[in-house]
Amino acid sequence: MLLRMLDLLFSDPIAFLGLFPLILFTLGLALFVAITVHEFGHAYMAHRLGDDTAKQMGRLSLNPLVHLDPLGTAMLFLVGFGWGKPVPVNPFFLRQGARKGMALVAAAGPLANFATAAVLSAFVRAGLVPWRPDISFVPFPGLWELVGMIVVLSIIYNVILGIFNLIPLSPLDGFKLVLGIVPRDLAYSLSRVEQYGPMILITIVALDSFTGVGIFTGILRPVSDLIGVILVGKPLL
């Protein structure tokens, strides 16, 4: 994302210096909220199902510092794709069994994102925050305008992070969810190709970033817009 601002840096350095701190703050806070509730959702569900591995490691927390991965956070700011620190889970401690338990833990992260977006959307529905997905960053905004930016961006990023993680491709949550709900024989067959998931994911991200093919955009936009209509009455993107 910040890499896209390089054009502004060279075309209007003064505007860049005025907008950079604002964009860094608002985008950063929105992303920290989305990542934190996502990882907390995993840790909380594991705890509820009987595995306290994450709790013992301090991950059952809404403190963003315990969930942020340095490289993943940097990638989020630079290109809009990143990750949090994976929550440790021991599937053998889960009361629902390893397969079903891991599926529930996997689903809890995206569900936490959607729930957070729904709560924040109440401020939009109540008319307290104007819905402006095409946010125009203006240097030195008023306090309430700044709060509105953070709320809107938090809704957008929570929904996008939730949808993205439901894609059934390893190491995303959607893959673990699929393994938990398909028949055992099929789950075993799918687990044998799990190792290729990260490479496929990186390849698609690279294609989207450098060629503009828009594979993930084609997946995310229709679903995010539908959720946006449900939450705030308008498409998200």
Alpha carbon distance 227, 120 (integer Å): 13
- What is the residue extent of each domain of the chain? 2-232
Alpha carbon distance 51, 101 (integer Å): 10
The answer, yes or no, to whether residue 83 has pLDDT greater than 80, is no
**Do 16 and 91 touch, CB atoms closer than 8 A?**
no
Alpha carbon distance 107, 110 (integer Å): 6
- What mean pLDDT comes out for the span 29-47? 94
Supply the pLDDT for residue 112. Answer: 98
Q: What percent of the chain has pLDDT over 70?
A: 84
Least confident of 2-6, 38-42, 116-120: 2-6
Of 14-28, 69-83, 105-119, 217-231, give the range with the top mean pLDDT.
Answer: 105-119
Residues marked active site are found at: 39
DSSP letter (8 states) at residue 69: -
Alpha carbon distance 234, 180 (integer Å): 33
CB-based burial of residue 234 (10 Å sphere; 0-12 exposed, 13-18 middle, 19+ buried)? exposed
Amino acid at 198: P
102 or 205: whose pLDDT is higher?
102
* Helix, strand, or coil (residue 84): strand
- What mean pLDDT comes out for the span 216-229? 90
The residues that bridge with 68 in the sheet, in sequence order, are 84
Question: Chain-wide mean pLDDT for the chain?
Answer: 85
- What mean pLDDT comes out for the span 23-49? 91
Supply the pLDDT for residue 139. Answer: 59
Alpha carbon distance 149, 216 (integer Å): 24
pTM for the full model?
0.88
Q: Name the pLDDT band for 14 (thresholds 50, 70, 90).
A: low
Q: How do residues 114-173 score in pLDDT, each as one tens digit?
A: 999 999 999 999 988 888 765 555 556 677 778 888 899 899 999 999 999 999 999 999
Alpha carbon distance 189, 193 (integer Å): 7
Alpha carbon distance 86, 71 (integer Å): 13
